[in-house]
């Protein structure tokens, strides 16, 4: 990428999408028949009205955005929200039914790695096959061959048929070729999920170097990655942009609340103890979700009913983030906590001051074990969801209170 490219084009719009809509058909036979009709209309150059025909629905409806060099647009949403369809239109694979896409520059798509690989040919031969499909000339591939092989770290196996490669190795080789593209616009779909951690990190390092002088469109279900690289975001739902803007954190929260199931999920129960009530004290409720501010005190109230239990069991409360990673365990009760069972009922509060969890949505799981034998009595997931409010979005689960002092 030449230098003048970077300087004079900072505000230049590379991708412009206006009123984009696309319809799909739910039924195969009907879809094929509409295909025939579209073919005839396409060839005659006549345009039927963009109304929905029977059994059709809008896979994408009225999407608008602009993307400049150096910006990265994140597309998030549930499966079937229309993200991949949008990518296909942006990549020029299918035509929109309404609206217009204007794309300036070379488009590189990391949608399918290793396209054109033939399983019985060797890795080296397939570098040429894949490279040709990505638009390289033979000379370009010749000159980049060593770099590609080195990047893929497959020197030892490069003359082995690709069918004997593991799926991770294939992705490595595919990415190594794709990494040689010098696109103005880069489209990334969920391709990097395969491969081992070392390779994923390597991929992101490469993408990081491409980012500043490229307009990137990134589809992912991995919110940490989205929040790491995106400057703009569209949350899609049923083909529409449900949220759009540069407040990436807000879109991610919205995305997560869609998943907040509020479904109490009993994983294990031996029948000796039952959860009657759980409550978060001092929390406000907003949009059906409990909210705490950063550094608020966490107060959880529990009431259980027990059957023939003499000694209080051990209660372990775990906090999970929305990626289902456990982030913290509240210190369990010990003998000295002196929890008492009264009339087959036990109730208590757990207090934790100064909650330093970072902004986001969390879920609480509880497991109850017998104090003596340590054997599990009850385990419930998602007994409670709550949100921590703070102005800045960070990805580590804790934002620890700190001071900076001149020395």
From 133-141, 168-176, 271-279, 379-387, give the range in contact with other proteins by CB under 8 A.
133-141
Q: What is the DSSP string of 168-187?
A: HHHHHHHHHHHTT---SEEE
- Which of residues 132 and 290 has its CB atom nearest to other proteins in the complex? 132
Q: In the set 2, 4, 7, 44, which binds other proteins (CB under 8 A)?
A: 44
Rule CB under 8 A: is residue 38 a binding residue for other proteins?
Answer: yes
From 23-31, 262-270, 287-295, 379-387, give the range in contact with other proteins by CB under 8 A.
23-31
Q: Give exposure, 181-191, as e/b (b: 16+ Cβ within 10 Å).
A: bebbbbbbbbb
- Which of residues 158 and 389 has its CB atom nearest to other proteins in the complex? 158
Q: What is the DSSP string of 303-365?
A: EEEESS--S--EEEEEEEETTS-EEEEEPPP-GGG----BTTEEEEEEEE-S--BPSEEEEEE
- Which of residues 188 and 314 has its CB atom nearest to other proteins in the complex? 188
Nearest to 81 by CA among 230, 303, 259: 259
85: tokens are: 């369809």
Helix or strand (DSSP H, E) at 15: strand 13-25
Bridge partners (DSSP) of residue 380 are 266, 366
- Which of residues 137 and 166 has its CB atom nearest to other proteins in the complex? 137
Number of residues that bind other proteins (CB under 8 A): 53
- Which of residues 115 and 145 has its CB atom nearest to other proteins in the complex? 115
Alpha-helical (H) ranges within 179-298 are 197-210, 223-229, 248-259
Tell me if 199 sits within 8 A of 167, measured CB to CB.
Answer: no
Residue 141 per-residue DSSP state: H
Q: In the set 66, 128, 309, 327, which binds other proteins (CB under 8 A)?
A: 128
Q: Strand pairing of 265-269 and 240-245?
A: unpaired
Least separation in angstroms between CB 387 and other proteins: 38
Nearest to 86 by CA among 192, 274, 193, 218: 218
Least separation in angstroms between CB 129 and other proteins: 5
For tokens 């999407």, name the residue. 63
Q: In the set 43, 307, 400, 405, which binds other proteins (CB under 8 A)?
A: 43
Rule CB under 8 A: is residue 25 a binding residue for other proteins?
Answer: yes
From 130-138, 216-224, 230-238, 264-272, give the range in contact with other proteins by CB under 8 A.
130-138
Tell me if 350 sits within 8 A of 304, measured CB to CB.
Answer: no
Q: In the set 1, 6, 35, 293, which binds other proteins (CB under 8 A)?
A: 35
- Which of residues 210 and 278 has its CB atom nearest to other proteins in the complex? 210
Separation between Cα atoms, residue 362 and residue 382, nearest integer Å: 9
Distance in Å from the first CA to the final CA of the chain: 44
- Which of residues 2 and 287 has its CB atom nearest to other proteins in the complex? 2
Binding mask 77-116 for other proteins (x = CB under 8 A): -----------xxxxxxxxxxxxxxxxxxxx-x-xx--xx
Q: In the set 133, 254, 341, 356, which binds other proteins (CB under 8 A)?
A: 133
Q: Which of residues 171-190 bind other proteins (CB under 8 A)?
A: 184
Nearest to 260 by CA among 380, 364, 119: 364
- Which of residues 93 and 335 has its CB atom nearest to other proteins in the complex? 93
- Which of residues 135 and 245 has its CB atom nearest to other proteins in the complex? 135
Q: In the set 1, 6, 10, 39, which binds other proteins (CB under 8 A)?
A: 39
Separation between Cα atoms, residue 102 and residue 109, nearest integer Å: 16
From 125-133, 150-158, 193-201, 377-385, give the range in contact with other proteins by CB under 8 A.
125-133
Separation between Cα atoms, residue 19 and residue 133, nearest integer Å: 31
- Which of residues 53 and 106 has its CB atom nearest to other proteins in the complex? 106
Rule CB under 8 A: is residue 137 a binding residue for other proteins?
Answer: yes
Least separation in angstroms between CB 357 and other proteins: 40
Rule CB under 8 A: is residue 120 a binding residue for other proteins?
Answer: yes
Which residues are near other proteins by CB under 8 A?
24-25, 31-32, 34-36, 38-39, 42-45, 47, 50, 88-107, 109, 111-112, 115-116, 118, 120-121, 125, 128-129, 132-135, 137-138, 184
């Amino acid at each position: 990428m030449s230098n003048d490219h970077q300087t004079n084009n900072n505000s230049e719009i590379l991708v412009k999408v206006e009123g984009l809509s696309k319809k799909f058909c739910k039924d195969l036979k009907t879809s094929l028949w509409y295909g025939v009709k579209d073919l005839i209309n396409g060839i005659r150059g006549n345009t039927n009205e963009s109304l929905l025909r029977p059994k059709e629905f809008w896979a994408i409806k009225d999407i608008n955005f602009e993307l400049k060099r150096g910006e990265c647009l994140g597309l998030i949403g549930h499966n079937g929200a229309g993200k991949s369809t949008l990518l296909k239109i942006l990549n020029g694979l299918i035509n929109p039914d309404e609206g217009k896409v204007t794309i300036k520059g070379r488009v590189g798509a990391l949608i399918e790695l290793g396209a054109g690989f033939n399983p019985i040919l060797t890795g080296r031969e397939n570098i040429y096959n894949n490279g040709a499909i990505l638009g390289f000339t033979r000379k370009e591939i010749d000159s980049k061959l060593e770099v590609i092989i080195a990047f893929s770290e497959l020197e030892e196996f490069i003359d082995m048929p690709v069918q004997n490669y593991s799926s991770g190795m294939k992705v490595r080789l595919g990415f190594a070729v794709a990494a040689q593209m010098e696109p103005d616009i880069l489209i990334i779909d969920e391709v990097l999920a395969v491969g081992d951690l070392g390779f994923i990190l390597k991929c992101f390092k490469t993408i990081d170097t491409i980012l500043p002088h490229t307009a990137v469109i990134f589809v992912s279900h991995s919110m940490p990655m989205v929040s790491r690289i995106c400057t703009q975001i569209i949350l899609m739902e049923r083909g529409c942009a449900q949220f759009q803007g540069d407040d990436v954190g807000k879109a991610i929260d919205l995305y997560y609340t869609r998943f907040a199931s509020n479904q109490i999920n009993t994983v294990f129960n031996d029948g000796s103890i039952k959860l009657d009530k759980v409550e978060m004290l001092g929390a406000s409720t907003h949009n059906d979700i409990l909210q705490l501010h950063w550094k608020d005190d966490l107060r959880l109230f529990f009431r259980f009913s027990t059957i023939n239990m003499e000694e209080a069991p051990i209660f372990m409360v775990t906090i999970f983030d929305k990626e289902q990673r456990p982030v913290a365990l509240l210190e369990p009760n010990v003998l000295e906590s002196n929890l008492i069972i009264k009339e087959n009922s036990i109730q208590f509060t757990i207090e934790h001051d100064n909650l330093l969890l970072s902004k986001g949505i969390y879920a609480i799981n509880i497991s109850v074990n017998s104090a003596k034998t340590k054997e599990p009595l009850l385990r419930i997931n998602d007994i409670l969801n709550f949100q921590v409010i703070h102005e800045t979005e960070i990805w580590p689960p804790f934002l620890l209170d700190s001071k900076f002092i001149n020395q």
